[in-house]
Amino acid sequence: MALGLARAAAGGGVNATARRGGAAAAAATRGAGVPLRLPPRRVGAPRAPGAAPLERRAPRTCPPPAASAADGLPGDPAAALHLACGPHASPEPRAPRLAGLRAKARAQLTSEYDAELFTLALPALASMLLEPIMNVISASMIGHLGTQQMAAVSLGSLAVSFATFTFAFLIFLTTPKIAAAHVNGDAARVSRHAAVGLWLAFGCGLVVTAGLITFSDAIIAALRPPEPAVAAYASEFIRIRAWGILSALVGYVAAGTFRGIKDTVTPLQAAAIATTCNLALSVVFIYGLDMGVAGAALGATLASWVSAAMLISLLFRKRLLRAADAARRPAWREVQPYVSQGLVLAFRMVVTFGIVMYASAMCVRVGAASQAAFEIIRQVWILSIQVFECLNVATQSMAASLLGSGDRAGALALLGRATLLSVGVGAAVGVGLLLLQGPLISVFTSDAAVTGMVLGIMPMIAALMPLDAGASIADGGFIAAGQTNMLSAIQVFGSLAQFAVLSWAAANGAASAFTVWAVLKLMSVFRFAGGAYVHFLSPISAYLPAAGEEQQQQEQEQQEQQEQEQQQQQQQRRQREEEEHEGKQRRHQQPQLELGPEALAGVFALDSGLPAREPVHAPRAPSPEAPSLEQLTGLAPPLPVSVPLASRDGEADGELRRRQAAAPRPADAGV
């Protein structure tokens, strides 16, 4: 009986001291700023009968710990709770789904190549717009002189453009050669390629100039102008403009050299000066000296020489061309690549421009108004395509550099991105043409018949602008890769299809300005479809990796991925080691709390889930006169244990259980 009473008193005392000890420990930790880590509640603990069902609560998010200024420990209850939660704390709330979708959309709408593309394209756009703008201004000046003068300049400009663009292979072949040498840091090769191109430009320019001056009347007669006055004006225009052919070809080589080193600002400066001179001279010659068509031709020729002289001087100043290379005549082995590829490109230019001249001649036979409408549409179209042709220039420079360094995958990604951007820009240009077609036409003519024809053709031109834009990037991809023979084959095949349709229209009396332009747009279909197939699908693509290269590239990517994974694992291992080291240091630096029998009993009561009882008012420490708890129960007194309160795994609780299990307990027979 005495033993039973002792056990009952011991049970009440344990609960009371547990509560007092636990409260004292919690108060001590709050006062010292040290968090008390409590063990988790047992899931299977018995519940009182009739208790309300448990409610599922949302996980709490522990706030980040606030460092104490005194000892570097958390100084507020929220921070202590965060440390106590430890790995059991719920993660931070996720970002809103809208922000994630916005980030994905931004990643799809942008590319790593956009910045460089626009950096190169914007100066190129400005320089390329200057010449068409000047041509539009010159055509508007001449158009107000009369319909015959306008038709004559149209025929003469076609002949001069045909002779000039036949040798456009100089810029197409110079750009990739300069880019490959520049990306490898070979300044000597850059200078030599530029010198060889200039020698070819001088030779071809002299021959073409002599041919145009000699055969100007025969060229105009072959075009069959409807009126003798138109033929006379056109022949005079060709003879004067022929003196600017040499400067135009030299400008091709210089522009290709600057494009190869990704410099589109220098050609812009030269074009700005030349355009300013052209505008000033045209006003003086056409209106001041009343030279008419001859004044327009003379102003354009002098401005072309100003641009060429400036570009050549800048080549020497930027050390892209050495005087020794410019003075040394090239050997046949240096000229042969230009000649072999240039002849194919020249044939392509002859065929395509031949189709354009044939179409213009068909309009001339219909009447002067039809020819004037054809020329107005041609000028507006040339001006409009410069907005996305600048992306073609940037694509040539960047793709040639990437291919020169062996990065096919990067060049392919660049080509796809440039195509997407160009098509979008082309659509915007088409919308702009539809909105501004009235003011644009009024700049060229006030003739009602011509205006009606142009208004009938302009919607078709605007609708097909995205197709023209995609075809432009496809051509640039061929030029950057040096696949000019494939480019020529596609365009020659398209020109043959155009010639067949135009011949049928002429034979069946269906020739008109609208029909001519509808047939000319077939070339854009061939260029875009052929370029897309060769670049992105064909095994002969210069952008797709070959079979062996693809396997090698996959192996290299796998090896790089494995190396990255190993580096990440090593980094994670180092981070874990550092965290463990920092944790050990924090445990050594944290204050130790001495827990006596009452505090340990309180922790034991919280852990075991003993039911609460009425407190027994017993002294905290046994007096010498009264029997102690240890004397009544026969248990060994628990020794004070130094327990780190920030312990992660509850070493103090485990030690207490082991001591409790190992201690001998008396039998219950006496109760």
Structural domain includes residue 398:
yes
- Whether 119 maps to a domain, the answer reads yes
Residue 431's pLDDT is what? Answer: 92
Residues 320 and 261 sit within 8 Å (Cβ to Cβ): yes
Tell whether 510 and 562 lie within a shared domain.
no
Q: Is 174 in the same domain as 222?
A: yes
Q: Who's near 62: CB < 8 A, 6+ residues apart?
A: 78, 81, 82, 85, 89, 90
Number of domains in the chain: 3
DSSP string spanning 283-324?
A: HIIIIIS--THHHHHHHHHHHHHHHHHHHHHHHHHTTSS-HH
- Give me the pLDDT at residue 73, please: 46
Is the same domain home to 259 and 157?
yes
In a domain, 66, yes or no: no
Determine the pLDDT at residue 3: 40
Same domain, 134 and 188: yes
> Does the global pTM surpass 0.85?
no
CA 232, distance to chain mean position in Å, is 53
Residue 612 lies in a domain: yes
520 and 642, same domain (yes or no):
no
Both 277 and 422 in a single domain?
yes
Q: Which domain holds residue 570?
A: 554-589
Does residue 281 share a domain with residue 202?
Answer: yes
Q: Does 600 lie in the same domain as 526?
A: no
Averaged in consecutive runs of 10 residues, what is the pLDDT profile of the chain (671 residues)? 42 45 45 47 49 50 47 48 48 55 62 80 79 71 73 78 81 82 82 87 88 83 72 83 88 86 83 84 81 81 87 87 83 82 82 81 79 83 84 84 82 88 90 87 80 88 91 87 84 88 84 85 88 86 69 68 81 82 71 53 51 49 51 52 47 60 53 38
Residues 333, 232 share a domain: yes
Give the Cα separation of 498 and 356 in Å (integer): 10
Same domain as 406, residue 433: yes
* Within-domain flag for 461: yes
Nearest to 473 by CA among 388, 539, 547: 388
pLDDT at residue number 568: 82
597 and 565 in one domain?
no
Structure confidence at residue 33 (pLDDT): 45
Helix (H, G, I), strand (E, B) or coil at 185: coil
My answer on whether 321 and 407 are in the same domain is yes
Domain final position from 487, 515, 545: 545
Domain assignment present for residue 63? The answer is: no
> 91 in a domain, yes or no?
no
Q: Is residue 462 part of a domain?
A: yes
